[in-house]
Amino acid sequence: MKRPKNAAERKERVAEILLRLDKMYPGATCALHHKGPWQLLVATILSAQCTDKRVNEVTPGLFAKYPTPADFAAVRPEVLAQDIRSTGFFNNKAKSIVGAAKRVMTAFGGEVPRTMEEVLTIPGAARKTANVVLGTAYRIASGVVVDTHVQRLSKRLDLSKNTDPVKIEQDLMKIIPRERWILFSHQLILHGRALCQARGPKCGECDLNSICYAKDKTT
């Protein structure tokens, strides 16, 4: 497929990208193991600068020790920090999680809220975290999750020329149908892990190869 020359051709190309992603990753979902919105919020905070695999190794024991937001709100951050030490940046993450638990308990009756505006008032929850929780836990398409994979692949696939995650999200929200925002981010994250890897993209195995214009494609 040649580079689109007008809006209609760009729209057609985006539709083709979505179609191919559906064939490659039909059941894509969040890789963080969780039971309910609160556990997903905690897991997402822990996932900053850490692999989902490591987070999934830590959270079962963590949620067994602290089953509810009230339990997290009652623990001292320095104690929680030792429980999550292996996820990195554990002191800051512990402060965020304890702060998040206190906010959820005092402002929202122990339940993670369902709006972007409210979630953003929770310590440790920026737009990416809010989009993860709202999209995966509540199926609310409030935006597009822009993690490092989505950020990198959006540029490779010529879906955004920006480097700032907020601007990339705005670009994606304009061209990706709203009903696809949640699934699209999951698919792109999986694609970034499985094939379009930063250190060596497997372009020869990629079904998006013929409509990808990345300059460093491999054979």
Measured CA to CA, the distance from residue 25 to residue 18 in angstroms comes to 10
Of 136, 105, 137, 103, whose CA–CA distance to 120 is shortest? 103
Please pick, among 128, 161, 164, 202, the residue that the annotation labels catalytic.
128
Check if 128 is active-site. Answer: yes
User: Pseudo-torsion of CA 13, 176, 186, 152, nearest 10°?
Assistant: 70
Catalytic member of 11, 147, 174, 216: 147
| 147 catalytic per annotation | yes
Please identify every residue annotated as catalytic: 128, 147
